[in-house]
């Protein structure tokens, strides 16, 4: 091939590696010697620069070289984040807003004491301690009660219609209304049920107990907890949160501890506000069956 033979005529190391050597070649060109190889040499030199530049760009942008997580401010503005999704109850759509949220309650290693420290939850709220978990207490039960207030609100007849059609949904006996809870509340209810199951000795006698006892089915408590864990599993997989949780280690300490970057979250406050408003307008019942009108 002619191209490969003219290529062979060039000093490759000079063409690719030593651009200064092209200057004497350019000066020689003014004396009209070897015009064709000169242009070829220039072209190949430019090509080699382009390839080098391309390789440098590819190298620098390689994901393995990115050591820092993308900072939140370089992410799209919250208003451009995904809005409501098809399965969200339509009435809740205006309440679906997004925010960047740093999770609290992380585990940290105190190198001077050699102990693991459980940090406070919801660091952004400036609240001390852990409100929802820990050894059972009145405070923890009250925090959960407040979180779950008005758990079962009411579906309008048209919202209830698809469920009446497909799965024989019936109104509650005491008020003749169709009740529901958003899935996030069901998942929280389940998480709370698991929490109380861990401290079942305490909750068997506690007034806040929601441990479900069925006289004729002694294994119901166990089934309920397994159901709850499986609901939480599916909810976590459904959300598919891809926020990186890098693992931290300390010399001489055998456990790696994860700590997430800031998460992209649905704004809980606006969800809660919408649900309170709906309960006030349409009524709601608590888990113990008591009617609660906001």
Ligand X SMILES: *[C@@H]1O[C@H](CO)[C@@H](O)[C@H](O)[C@H]1NC(C)=O
Confirm if 290 and 120 have CB atoms less than 8 A apart: no
Candidates 50-58, 70-78, 106-114, 166-174: pick the segment binding ligand X (CB under 6 A). Answer: 106-114
Cα gap 16→44, rounded to integer Å:
8
> Shortest distance, CB of residue 251 to ligand X, whole angstroms?
17
Q: The tokens of 38 are what?
A: 């000169």
Cβ closest to ligand X, residue 119 vs residue 159: 119
Cβ closest to ligand X, residue 111 vs residue 269: 111
Candidates 107-115, 130-138, 169-177, 276-284: pick the segment binding ligand X (CB under 6 A). Answer: 107-115
Cα gap 230→252, rounded to integer Å:
36
Q: In whole angstroms, what separates CA 273 from the centre of its chain?
A: 22
The only residue of 6, 110, 217, 243 in contact with ligand X, by rule CB under 6 A = 110
Cβ closest to ligand X, residue 118 vs residue 202: 118
Provide the mask over 116-155, with x wherever binding to ligand X is found by CB under 6 A and - wherever it is not. -x--------------------------------------
> Shortest distance, CB of residue 112 to ligand X, whole angstroms?
4
Closest among 122, 158, 198, 192 to 282, alpha carbons compared:
158
> Shortest distance, CB of residue 245 to ligand X, whole angstroms?
21
> Shortest distance, CB of residue 113 to ligand X, whole angstroms?
3
Cβ closest to ligand X, residue 118 vs residue 133: 118
Question: What distances in angstroms separate CA 284 from CA 103, 203, 287, one per listed residue?
Answer: 30, 25, 10
Cβ closest to ligand X, residue 13 vs residue 113: 113
Instruction: Find the angle CA(261)-CA(74)-CA(52) to the nearest 5 degrees.
Output: 105
> Shortest distance, CB of residue 257 to ligand X, whole angstroms?
14
Candidates 110-118, 145-153, 193-201, 269-277: pick the segment binding ligand X (CB under 6 A). Answer: 110-118
Confirm if 136 and 244 have CB atoms less than 8 A apart: no
Counting residues that bind ligand X (by CB under 6 A) gives 4
Q: What is the DSSP string of 91-114?
A: GGGGG--EEEE-----EEEETTTT
Candidates 14-22, 35-43, 111-119, 133-141: pick the segment binding ligand X (CB under 6 A). Answer: 111-119
Cβ closest to ligand X, residue 70 vs residue 117: 117
Cα gap 185→24, rounded to integer Å:
78
C-alpha dihedral sign at 188, 190, 193, 195 = negative
The only residue of 2, 32, 61, 113 in contact with ligand X, by rule CB under 6 A = 113
Closest among 56, 24, 53, 55 to 41, alpha carbons compared:
24
Q: In whole angstroms, what separates CA 197 from the centre of its chain?
A: 27
The only residue of 13, 35, 87, 112 in contact with ligand X, by rule CB under 6 A = 112
> Applying CB under 6 A, which residues contact ligand X?
110, 112-113, 117
């Amino acid at each position: 091939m002619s191209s490969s033979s003219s290529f062979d005529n060039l000093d490759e190391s000079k063409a690719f590696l030593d651009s200064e050597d092209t200057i004497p070649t350019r000066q020689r060109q003014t004396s009209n010697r070897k015009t064709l190889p000169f242009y070829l040499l220039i072209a190949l030199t430019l090509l080699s620069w382009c390839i080098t530049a391309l390789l440098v760009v590819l190298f620098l942008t390689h994901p393995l070289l990115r050591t820092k997580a993308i900072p939140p401010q370089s992410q799209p503005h919250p208003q451009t984040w995904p809005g409501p999704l098809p399965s969200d109850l339509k009435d809740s759509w205006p309440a679906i807003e997004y925010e960047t949220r740093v999770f609290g309650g992380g585990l940290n290693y105190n190198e001077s004491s050699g102990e693991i420290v459980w940090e406070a939850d919801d660091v952004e709220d400036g609240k001390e301690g852990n409100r929802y978990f820990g050894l059972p207490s009145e405070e923890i039960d009250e925090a959960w009660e407040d979180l779950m207030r008005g758990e079962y609100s009411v579906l309008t007849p048209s919202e209830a219609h698809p469920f009446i059609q497909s799965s024989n949904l019936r109104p509650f006996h005491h008020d003749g209304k169709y009740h529901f809870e958003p899935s996030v509340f069901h998942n929280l209810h389940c998480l709370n049920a698991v929490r109380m199951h861990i401290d079942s000795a305490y909750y068997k006698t506690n007034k806040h107990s929601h441990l479900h006892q069925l006289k004729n089915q002694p294994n119901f408590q166990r089934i309920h907890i397994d159901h709850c864990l499986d609901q939480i599993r599916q909810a976590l997989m459904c959300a598919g949160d891809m926020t990186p949780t890098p693992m931290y280690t300390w010399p001489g300490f055998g456990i790696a501890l994860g700590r997430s970057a800031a998460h992209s979250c649905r704004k809980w406050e606006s969800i809660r506000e919408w649900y309170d408003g709906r309960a006030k307008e349409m009524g709601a019942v608590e888990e113990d069956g008591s009617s609660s009108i906001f």
